[in-house]
Amino acid sequence: MSEKTYFDQRNFENNIKLRQLLKELPIICSDYFLGIEPRTAVLTRLGYAQDLKIFFNYLHTECAEFVDIKDIRLFGYDHLKLVETFHIELFLNYLTAFEIDGVRYSNSEKTKARKLATIKSFFKYNYNKDRIPSDPASKVLSLKLHDKAIIRLESDEVSALLNNVEDGKGLSIRQKSLQNKTKLRDIAILTLFLGTGIRISELVGIDISDIHMDVNGFKITRKGGNQTILYFSDEVKVALEDYLDERAQNPLLDNEPALFVSLQNKRITVRAVQNLVKKYASITSPLKHITPHKLRSTYGTNLYKETNDIYVVAEVLGHKDINTTKKHYAAISDDIKRAAANKVSLRHKDE
């Protein structure tokens, strides 16, 4: 039997979490999750389950029609038939600021939109299965999302970021002591982000066997489980080789498949990478909230400027919908069009 990959293990753990969460939801939800399983990733279903738990808790605690239900697990199809459009609209308003067990929560426009999408999917499924006579969620208007300024690093900030990792500028004494042990790893991680635009989950999941230096390429697992090959520049190659040479000197890592490891000699976690990026970026660009995703945007920006081809950017970044790419890089497109306006002369200069 082949050894489980990072993504196999992650899916296994998420399936266990989903199974536990379903025990806290109405029994009628089980049919829904079985129905959507063939066309959704387990991480997506886990998010849906968390959204539905908040929704049913809202109905149970905030709506008079459902307060007599002793437990949301007893919420049945007869109760579902009583849910009307205005219940869902009030729920969206409730999400702006609410409290559960003394803990306060708030949701952004984007998070509200995702929860609405979950509810729409749930009611549509049950309506199509003739579990309910109508679909109240279908009448709820989609939320208008206001565009946010896209934050990315400028070229001089990219250089400064990598330089700061090398010399430890701005770090505390304690941080410098750790940085001396992880410098080559951290440079390789940031260089790979900035040089390929991969997602944080894709980076964490890379194994040494996925790297092929002879072709400057590596294999990654995309969202949804699809695998693809990406290529990197010689600059990225040098950073990876330097790190791999140092990694090879640690005998405790002989049987560790992960490319990037922690000081505990285990696969580095998503949280650790997030903290790593935050630590160095806050020194380089204190006014910008730089995350791994912003490094991905930085690469996408640079790639689009170099190629002027939105389809190439979409393919490399792994966007399934080209409109997602266009939305994120529309501002750059305007710059290109503005520059193109001066390319065509109407009169010859010697006239």
The per-residue pLDDT of the chain, averaged, comes to: 89
Rounded to the nearest 10°, the torsion over CA 79, 82, 87, 92 is 50
* Residue 54 in this model has a pLDDT that exceeds 90: yes
Taking the C-alpha atoms of residue 270 and residue 193, their distance in angstroms, rounded to an integer, is: 13
- Does residue 239 contact residue 188 with C-beta atoms inside 8 Å? yes
| Range 62-78 average pLDDT | 93
Which pTM value belongs to this model? Answer: 0.80
CA distances to 101, 178, 189, 325 from 167, rounded to whole Å, are: 46, 13, 16, 35
The candidate with the shortest Cα–Cα distance to 182, out of 237, 243, 236, is: 243
* Residue 195 in this model has a pLDDT that exceeds 60: yes
